[in-house]
Amino acid sequence: MRRQPATTCPDRIAGAFSARLAPSRVDPRDVEYPVHIAPKPALDIAGLLKQHLEAQTLGELVTVFEPKARQYQQLKQIWNRLQPLAGQPAMHEFKPGKQLRPGDKHPHIVYLRQNLLAMGAIADNANPDSKIYDSDLAEAVKKVQQQQGLKADGVIGSATAALFNRPPQEKLAQLELAMERSRWIPDPSDGPMILVNIPAFELWAFNSPDDANPINMKVIVGKSPDKQTPVLWEEMKYLEFMPYWNIPKNIFEKEILPKAANNQGYLASQEIELVKHQNSEEKGGGSYMRARQRPGKKNPLGRVKFVFPNTADVYLHDTPSRAAFNRPRRDLSHGCVRVSEPKRLAEFVLGDQQGWDKDTIEQAMSHRKPATSR
C-alpha cells in the first residue's frame, strides 16, 4: 500500500476531530430551540491541525475551540471533579425525614457532609462523624439552594434534600447541557457585560470578564414552555425612562380585548390608548392602529426599559409588581426579563456616559414624561 504524503494528514483526520472540537455539538436551530444568535463562523479545522502539528502544540488545540467565558471554565472544573464519581457505588441517601434547620442534630448529617464535599460546596470534611447541622454546612446548603433556584435560607426540606440524592450521572448530564449552551454564544468582550441566567432567574453585570465583584440581582423570565425567554447576544443601545408599553398584537387580542368587550371603560381605566402607526417604506408603507399604555404606575414596564434591538423583540425592564421576586421559581413573563433592581442596573449601564449620574437617573425615573438615554 502506498503511503500518503505527510502533508495530507490534517485533511484526513480533520473529520475525526471536528465532532469533538466543533463550536457546539448541536445547532439549536435544528431542534427549534429559541435562540436568536447568528451561527458562529466555520473554523478551518484542517488548517488548525496542520498549524499545531508543525508547531508541536497539538495538546493546546482543544483550548482554541473552548468558550473563553469564566463561567464555562468553572463548569468544566465541576465536571472534572464529578466525572470520577460516575463509576463509583452510590452514596448513602440523604433522607432526613423531616425539615432540618441550622443547629439541628440528625444521623444523616454525615451523608449531607459527604455530598457537599463531593459537590465541591465545602473544602474539607474536618468533622466526618458530626451529626450537627452546623453553620458551615448551612452556608454551603444556601449556595446550593441559590444555584438551583430555591429559597436560599439554609432550611432543608424535601426539595433541598432531593438535590443531594441525584446520581452523579444526572449531574454530569446537566453540566454537559450547560456547557453545550455556553458554546452557542460568542466569547465575552473586554468591556462591560450583562448576563441573564435564564434557568436560575438571575442577572449578573460585569465591568470586565475578570470582574471579581459583579452586580447580581433577581429577574423574572418568560413562562415555560410556550413563552420562554430566548437565548440571544446583542449590544445594548439605549435606555427609555418612563416608557410607553407598545402592546404586542397577540397580548392585546388574547388578554385585553376580552376584558374591554365586557367593560366599556376598561381601556381608559388602564390608561391604554389607540394610536395610528405608520409603516416605513421598507415595510411596504401604509398604516394601522396600535394599542399602547401610557407611562405610570399601571404600566408593566415600570420606570425604565433597557433596549438592545433583536429579532425576538425582547428587552429588560422594571416592573411595578415586586412581590413575584420573592418566589423561588420566576418564569412568569411573556418573554421579556423583569429586573429587581432597575435603578442599580441603570447606574451600571450609564456609569461612564456623560450627563448621567445617580441624581439624573433618579429624576428620569421619577418624572411622568418619557426620556431616552441616547
Tens of pLDDT, residues 79-116: 888 888 777 666 678 889 899 999 999 999 999 998 88
Q: What is the separation, in whole angstroms, between the first and last Cα of the chain?
A: 69
Amino acid at 245: W
Q: What is the mean pLDDT of residues 218-234?
A: 92
Question: 289 has which bridge partners?
Answer: 276
pLDDT tier for residue 133 given thresholds of 50, 70 and 90:
very high
The answer to whether the Cα torsion of 324, 328, 333, 338 is positive or negative is positive
Q: What is the pLDDT of residue 32?
A: 74
Catalytic option among 36, 92, 277, 317: 317
Q: Considering 36, 277, 334, 336, which one is annotated as catalytic?
A: 336
Confidence class for position 154, pLDDT limits 50, 70, 90 = very high
- How many residues appear in the chain? 374
Q: What per-residue confidence (pLDDT) applies to 89? A: 64
Q: Inter-axis angle of helices 70-82 and 168-182, to 10 degrees?
A: 160
At position 1, the amino acid (one-letter code) is M
Supply the pLDDT for residue 90: 62
28 within 8 A of 71, measured Cβ to Cβ: no
Grid coordinates representing 80 are: 472534572
As a whole number, mean pLDDT of residues 309-324 equals 94
Is 317 noted as a catalytic residue in this protein? Answer: yes
Residue 62 CB neighbour total at 10 angstroms: 11
Cell readout for 87 is 463509576
221: which residues sit within 8 A by CB, 6+ positions away?
196, 198, 201, 228, 229, 330, 331, 332, 333, 337
Of 159 and 32, the structure prediction assigns the larger pLDDT to: 159
Contact 358, 234 (CB under 8 A): no
d(CA 23, CA 64): 10
Lowest mean pLDDT of 122-136, 294-308, 340-354, name the range: 122-136
pLDDT at residue 332 tops 90: yes
For 108, 159, 189, 203, the CA distances from 91, given in Å and listed in that order, are 12, 18, 42, 34
277 in active site: no
Fill in the amino acid letter for 156: I
Share of the chain above pLDDT 90, in %: 45
* pTM score, whole prediction: 0.75
Phi, psi of 245 (to 5 degrees): -105, 110
Burial of 18: CB neighbours in 10 Å, binned 0-12, 13-18, 19+:
middle
